[in-house]
Amino acid sequence: MTSSDAKRPAAVNHVLARDTSSSPNGAGHDADGFADNLTTATSTRNLFSPVHPDHDGDLVTTAEDRDLKRGLAQRHLSMLGIAGSIGTGLFLGLGVAVQKGGPLGSLLGYAVIGLIVCSVQFALGETAALLPVTGSFVRHAEFLVDPAWGFAIGWNLVYGNVLSIPSEITAICVLFQFWTDINPSVFIVVFIVITVAVGLAFIRVFGEVEFVFALLKIWLVVFLIVLGLVINLGGVPGTERIGFRYWRDPGPFVEYIAAGDWGKFLGFWAVMTGAVFSFAGVESLAMAAAETKNPRRSIPRACKRVFARIVIFYMLAVFVVGLLVPSNDPRLSGSGDSVAQSPFVIAASAAGIPAIASVVNAIVITSAWSASNQSLLAGTRVLYGLALKGQAPKIFLRTTSWGTPYMCVLFFACFMLLSFMSLSQGAMTVFWWLVSLTAAGVLVSWSSILLNHVRLRQAMKRQNIDVSRLPWYNSWTVYTSPVALFMCIVILFTAGFGVFTEGNWDAATFVSSYLDIPIVLIAYLGYKFYAKTKIISLDDVPLADAFEQAEQQIDEPEGKEPGWIRLVSWIWD
């Protein structure tokens, strides 16, 4: 038995030995270097049948252990979460938050969502440390809640990521128009090619790309916060000190839709619903758990550190923006997709530093491409996980010799061509309507993560399993997860409250806020009827096998960060 075999649970070694013995080369890869997951034992199954019998793919399966490669370290996961959540929402969208809620209202709104994100991250960390599977909370939902629920949120994520990649590429084309009039189709082709190239590369390549992008974003955020404070305090020659002037006039809160205290509350609530989408992406760091080194240690550490860094950056940024720009500044109006609307650019231009606009634009372009890379990673791994469960065609289980699910990547590459719809105004309108269908998917995903954790703790209590057996746990999460779940559901159903007020009906806002709810419910009920699934009894959740697998896993030793990386390692470690 090799050292790698010794690290696997006994049950996995047994199945692995059985599978590889039936494969001509014993490794599951064909002569072309691509993984051939269609073993002799499963070749006669129908198109949607599960390939491996390990609890029908609930635990870490033979396919994941054999065909995927563990190339992501804890620093990659931490920076993956940071890169996914620091983007246009922070660089361009904070002005919209200040306009709706005022400087204090926006600060409070982001603080509340920050606490919810904390609950989501800790719930995800506890569950993923026990079940470090590809597809993360989608597979957790099938294990802990109902296979039909996992099917529904899984395909909802696939659909959302299929559309988000071309939408990000389209945003890149718009951002490049800030500098040049070159035909947008050139940028579309270039970014499709490099996105597919990163998607097909070894997972470590993706990790390093996102690592660099996250560092760029963090440096820019720190720079903009410091610059904002310098401008506010009158440190730029020729500018006067602003201080808390805009907190006094036009005031700390903004009346939104209604008047008086009720209007100020609605302004705060509008900020909170919008802040959810600014934090979107923090949940993606566990999607490639089966491709992560020491996942039972790395994922919890990443979840804890990502939360702290992101909340600090966002809270400081929101606070500084509230100092720099008055909430009634007309330049803040819009959807937050233009560099000219960035409150940092507005303040810097007023201080005589117009070059900041180009700097912000450049980083936002990298943010958009980073977001497309993350959507590709999350979408392909969810699709792979669905195929493991027999809920997607088994062709999506095929991997390259270096462990990339290449058929999943090629599937997503086909839909990247939708970005060419941006060249037609009419087609673009249809495209953005398609994108808006899954705008509420963030709250659905967060709700599922929290529900998974609630069910895990309930099942452990029912089966008399002590919480100390979890690879990672916190005493307070048994209380924070139900509260955060309730808040996510409330925010989900009130996200588009403005369209129901007199004179504010907007079909696009209604669709983006609510249509994802019936889509998920129809998928859930449809699969439940088709597959005749049942909500899993707390007594029947196979926790004993999950804990046995977790306790048999041996972590690899961690080395110190090399060279210059050690100087900035405090960001993720």
User: Is residue 400 scored above 90 in pLDDT?
Assistant: no
Give the pLDDT score at 423: 78
Domain hosting 424: range is 70-206+247-330+362-546
Q: What is the mean pLDDT of residues 236-262?
A: 90
- The total number of residues written for the chain in this structure: 573
Q: Is residue 414 part of a domain?
A: yes
Give the residue carrying structure tokens 């100020």: 264
- What CA–CA distance (Å, rounded) separates 54 from 226? 53
pLDDT greater at residue 276 or residue 463: 463
447 and 124 Cβ atoms separated by less than 8 Å: no
Question: And the tokens for 556?
Answer: 């690899």
Rank 50-59, 84-93, 115-124 by mean pLDDT and report only the highest.
Answer: 115-124
pLDDT greater at residue 33 or residue 488: 488
Helix, strand and coil in the chain, % to nearest 5: 70, 0, 30
Q: Is residue 33 part of a domain?
A: no
421-464 pLDDT tens trace = 877 776 666 666 666 666 688 899 999 999 999 999 999 999 99
Question: And the tokens for 552?
Answer: 């048999």
User: Is residue 415 scored above 80 in pLDDT?
Assistant: yes
Phi, psi torsion values for 292, nearest 5 degrees: -110, 135
Q: For the purposes of burial, counting CB atoms within 10 Å of the CB of 435, is it exposed (0-12), middle (13-18) or buried (19 or more)?
A: middle
Question: And the tokens for 302?
Answer: 């990443």
195 to each of 14, 128, 198, 373, how far by Cα in Å? 38, 27, 5, 6
Give the pLDDT score at 558: 58
Task: Calculate Rg over the CA atoms of the chain.
Answer: 24
User: Is residue 79 scored above 90 in pLDDT?
Assistant: no
User: Is residue 378 scored above 50 in pLDDT?
Assistant: yes
Rank 34-38, 169-173, 495-499 by mean pLDDT and report only the highest.
Answer: 495-499
Q: Is residue 459 part of a domain?
A: yes
Local confidence band at 305 (pLDDT 50, 70, 90 cut-offs) = confident
Instruction: List the one residue out of 112, 353, 80, 81 whose CA is nearest residue 224.
Output: 353
> How many structural domains compose the chain?
1
Q: How high is the mean pLDDT of the chain?
A: 80
Give the pLDDT score at 489: 95
Question: And the tokens for 516?
Answer: 């994802």
User: Is residue 151 scored above 50 in pLDDT?
Assistant: yes
Rank 34-43, 206-215, 223-232 by mean pLDDT and report only the highest.
Answer: 223-232
C-alpha 346: how far from chain center: 29
Out of 55-59, 146-150, 368-372, 482-486, pick the least confident. 55-59
Instruction: List the one residue out of 409, 411, 433, 429 whose CA is nearest residue 421.
Output: 429
Give the pLDDT score at 396: 92
Local confidence band at 522 (pLDDT 50, 70, 90 cut-offs) = very high
C-alpha 216: how far from chain center: 19
Q: Is residue 225 part of a domain?
A: no
Q: Is residue 221 part of a domain?
A: no
Q: Is residue 381 part of a domain?
A: yes
Give the pLDDT score at 26: 35
408 to each of 49, 133, 197, 200, 442, how far by Cα in Å? 17, 17, 13, 10, 22
pLDDT greater at residue 473 or residue 24: 473
Phi, psi torsion values for 35, nearest 5 degrees: -70, 135
Out of 226-240, 255-269, 326-340, 350-364, pick the least confident. 326-340
Give the pLDDT score at 12: 34
Q: Is residue 54 part of a domain?
A: no
User: For the domain that residue 190 is a member of, what is the CATH number?
Assistant: 1.20.1740
The fraction of the chain above a pLDDT of 70, given in percent, is 79
pTM > 0.85: yes or no: no
